[in-house]
């Protein structure tokens, strides 16, 4: 199992633009190599010859535990999302004021307004970055916890079902090792079902229409990177 979780959270969290922050709800990067190796011990007594694939990234999100915990994190981060939108609205209001009234202000008033916009813009960017880092850390913790339990389970499943090789397809070709693999060799759903049966975590109770399909990643929780604009001179 390769270490992928530090990768897939990064672009997802705060992926929206601040302008649409209010309308966007969030969602992962991969555990460290050490954590991945610990989660997937080598089955030295395996004698199988079959080859299979699994999308570890999707499997983690598709588990009942993953859906529950990422949804809970999304709700937990909503207040920060709202707070950042409020700060962004303040910045946009000041920019609008500068654009519409700038030529009517004296030099000192205009300079004061420009400085105020720049300070608030920088503060917003710092807050968004801090919130992004915090959300990513919390998402990584969830993913790593699930992976550490899923790894040994996956190894046992492979040994019990005659697999000699299981390849992670989380990273698509050409960045990953698999050019193409048919659905017949994919064991993602089987491993997710096995994990759910052993975890004891019930399936999400939200409406089926709102539930991500098995193996799909939930929407990323939280906020966008603010657009940096230099106030007109």
Q: Residue ranges of the domains in the chain?
A: 5-210
Instruction: Summarize pLDDT for 80-113 with one digit per residue, the tens.
Output: 999 999 999 999 999 999 888 878 888 898 899 9
Beta bridge partner(s), residue 53 = 167, 186
Q: How far apart are CA 67 and CA 222, in angstroms?
A: 16
Q: What mean pLDDT is predicted for residues 128-153?
A: 95
Looking at the predicted structure, is the pLDDT value of residue 18 above 60? no
Q: How far apart are CA 13 and CA 1, in angstroms?
A: 23
Confidence of residue 209 (pLDDT cuts 50, 70, 90): very low
Give the model's pLDDT for residue 227: 53
Give the model's pLDDT for residue 105: 86
Q: How far apart are CA 187 and CA 66, in angstroms?
A: 18
Place of tokens 């990422």: 70
Pair 49, 161: CB distance under 8 Å:
no
Q: Mind spelling out the 3-state secondary structure of the chain? A: CCCCHHHHCCCCCCCCEHHHHHHCCCCCCECCHHHHHHHCCCCCCCCCCEEEEECHHHHHHHCHHHHHHHHHHHHHHHHHHHHHHHHHHHHHHHHHHHHHHHHHCCHHHHHHHHHHHHHHHHHHHHHHHHHHHHHHHHHHHHHHHHHHHHHHHHHHHHHHCCEEEEEECCCCCCCCCCCCCCHHHECHHHHHHHHHHHHCCCCCCCCHHHCCCCCCCCCCCCCCECCCCCCCC
For residue 191 the two structure tokens come to 């491993």
Q: What mean pLDDT is predicted for residues 39-44?
A: 49
Looking at the predicted structure, is the pLDDT value of residue 174 above 50? yes
């Amino acid at each position: 199992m390769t270490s992928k979780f530090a990768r897939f959270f990064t672009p997802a969290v705060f992926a929206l633009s601040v302008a649409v922050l209010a309308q966007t709800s969030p969602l992962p990067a991969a555990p460290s190599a050490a954590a991945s190796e610990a989660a997937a011990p080598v089955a030295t007594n395996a004698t199988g010859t079959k080859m299979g694939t699994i999308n570890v990234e999707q499997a983690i999100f598709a588990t009942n535990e993953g859906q529950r915990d990422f949804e809970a994190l999304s709700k937990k981060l909503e207040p920060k999302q709202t707070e950042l939108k409020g700060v962004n609205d303040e910045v946009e209001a000041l920019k609008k004021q500068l654009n519409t009234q700038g030529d009517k202000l004296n030099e000192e008033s205009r300079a004061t307004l420009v400085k105020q916009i720049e300070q608030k813009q920088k503060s917003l960017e710092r807050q968004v970055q801090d919130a992004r880092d915090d959300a990513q850390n919390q998402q990584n913790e969830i993913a790593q916890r699930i992976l550490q339990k899923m790894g040994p389970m996956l190894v046992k499943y492979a040994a019990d079902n005659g697999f000699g090789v299981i390849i992670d397809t989380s990273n698509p070709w050409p960045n990953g090792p698999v050019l193409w693999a048919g659905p017949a060799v994919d064991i993602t759903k089987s491993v997710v079902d096995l994990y759910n049966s052993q975890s004891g975590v019930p399936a999400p109770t939200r409406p089926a229409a709102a539930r991500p399909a098995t193996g799909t990643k939930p929407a990323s929780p939280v906020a966008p990177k603010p657009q940096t604009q230099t106030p007109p001179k």
